[in-house]
C-alpha cells in the first residue's frame, strides 16, 4: 500500500513539476519587475497578492491540462502530425489565465485594467503557456530519442550476433581443377593474393598469420566467394576480408590497407578506392 501511494505521489510530482516551476517564475517576475501598479504598502500583503497571481497560473495550467488529458485531446507524441490539439490547449491556457489575471487585478488588487495593463497580462500568460509547450516538446523528443537509442542497441546486438555466426562459417577454396580444396573459417581469412598461376591465401591462426597456396586464378577464387560480401576486391592482384581492415592509408597519391595484427600493407588501386572507402 505504501509503495503504491509513493508511486502515485511520484507521478503527481512529475506531472505537476513544470506547472509549479512556471508559477514560481511568474511570482518572481511580478515581484521583482512589478509590471502592474500594485498599491499595497504592507510587504506581507504584497507577497500574498503576488502569490495569488502565481496560484492563478498554476490552476490555469493544471485545469486545462487535466481536461485535455481526460478528453485525450492533446498532442502527446512528436510523431503525430496534427498540431491542432496542442494549439488549442495552449490557447485555452492563455485565455483562462488572462481572464483570471484581469479579474484578480481588477477586483482584488483594485488596479484599473487599461489597454497597457491588459497587454502585459496577455504577454505574461502567453509566455507561461508557450514555456509549458516547449517543455513538453523537449520531454517528448527526449523520450523519443531514448526509445531510438534502445532500439539501436537491440539492433546492434542482433547484428553482432549475426556477424559472429557469419564469421564462424567455413568457406571452401577449390583449385581450378577441383582436385584440391582448402577449408577455413571466414573469420580466419585475412586476404587472398595472386601469385602467378596460384593464389596465396593468408589466414590468421594461433595469433599468427600463415599462408597456403592453391592452384587457381584470383578471378576464379573471386567467383567462388562472391556470395560472401565481406570479401572485397581492392587491387587487380588482391582480395581483402573487410573484417581484417584496420585503416586506409594514403601516401603521395597511392593507397594501401593496414591489416589488423599484420605488418604487411595491401595495395589499393584507384579502380576500387571508392568501394574500399565505403567500408572503412
End position of a domain, from candidates 104, 136, 162: 162
Residues 154 and 50 in one domain: yes
- Please give the C-alpha separations between residue 90 and each of 87, 117, 120, 126, in angstroms, as whole numbers: 5, 21, 18, 8
Write phi, then psi, for 38 (nearest 5 degrees). -80, 120
End position of a domain, from candidates 130, 162, 194: 162
Residues 142 and 23 in one domain: yes
Residues 149 and 27 in one domain: yes
Residues 121 and 158 in one domain: yes
The domain in which residue 89 lies consists of 2-162
Residues 30 and 70 in one domain: yes
Tens-digit pLDDT profile for the chain (280 aa)? 566 656 655 666 777 889 999 999 999 999 999 998 887 767 788 899 999 999 999 999 999 988 888 776 544 444 455 677 788 889 999 999 999 999 999 999 888 899 999 999 999 999 999 999 999 899 889 989 999 999 998 888 887 777 777 778 889 999 998 889 999 999 899 999 999 889 999 999 888 999 999 999 999 999 999 888 889 999 999 999 998 999 999 988 899 999 999 988 999 999 999 999 988 7
Q: What is the pLDDT of residue 60?
A: 94
Residues 151 and 198 in one domain: no
Domain count for the chain, please give it.
2
Q: What is the strand order of the sheet 231-235 is part of?
A: 208-215, 198-205, 189-195, 238-241, 231-235
To the question of pTM greater than 0.85 for the whole model, the response is no
Residues 78 and 217 in one domain: no
Q: Take residue 5 and report the three cell numbers written for it.
A: 501511494
End position of a domain, from candidates 99, 132, 162: 162
Residues 149 and 194 in one domain: no
In percent, the amount of the chain with pLDDT more than 70 equals 91
Amino acid at each position: 500500500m505504501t509503495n503504491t501511494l509513493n508511486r502515485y505521489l511520484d507521478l503527481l510530482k512529475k506531472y505537476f513539476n513544470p506547472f509549479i516551476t512556471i508559477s514560481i517564475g511568474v511570482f518572481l517576475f511580478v515581484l521583482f519587475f512589478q509590471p502592474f501598479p500594485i498599491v499595497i504598502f504592507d510587504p506581507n500583503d504584497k507577497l500574498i497578492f503576488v502569490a495569488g497571481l502565481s496560484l492563478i497560473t498554476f490552476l490555469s495550467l493544471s485545469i486545462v491540462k487535466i481536461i485535455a488529458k481526460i478528453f485525450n485531446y492533446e498532442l502527446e507524441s512528436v510523431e503525430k502530425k496534427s498540431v491542432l490539439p496542442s494549439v488549442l490547449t495552449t490557447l485555452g491556457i492563455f485565455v483562462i489565465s488572462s481572464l483570471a489575471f484581469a479579474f484578480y487585478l481588477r477586483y482584488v488588487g483594485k488596479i484599473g485594467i487599461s489597454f497597457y495593463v491588459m497587454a502585459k497580462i496577455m504577454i505574461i500568460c502567453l509566455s507561461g503557456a508557450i514555456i509549458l509547450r516547449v517543455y513538453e516538446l523537449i520531454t517528448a523528443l527526449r523520450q523519443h530519442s531514448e526509445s531510438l537509442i534502445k532500439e539501436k542497441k537491440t539492433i546492434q546486438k542482433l547484428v553482432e550476433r549475426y556477424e559472429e555466426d557469419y564469421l564462424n562459417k567455413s568457406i571452401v577454396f577449390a583449385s581450378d581443377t577441383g582436385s584440391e580444396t582448402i577449408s577455413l573459417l571466414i573469420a580466419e581469412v585475412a586476404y587472398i593474393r595472386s601469385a602467378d598461376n596460384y593464389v596465396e591465401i593468408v589466414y590468421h591462426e594461433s595469433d599468427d598469420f600463415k599462408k597456403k597456396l592453391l592452384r587457381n586464378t584470383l578471378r576464379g577464387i573471386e567467383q567462388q566467394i562472391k556470395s560472401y560480401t565481406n570479401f572485397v576486391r581492392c587491387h587487380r592482384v588482391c582480395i581483402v576480408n573487410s573484417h581484417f581492415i584496420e585503416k586506409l592509408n594514403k601516401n603521395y597519391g597511392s593507397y594501401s590497407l593496414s591489416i589488423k595484427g599484420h605488418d604487411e600493407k595491401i595495395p589499393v588501386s584507384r579502380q576500387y578506392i571508392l568501394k574500399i572507402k565505403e567500408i572503412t
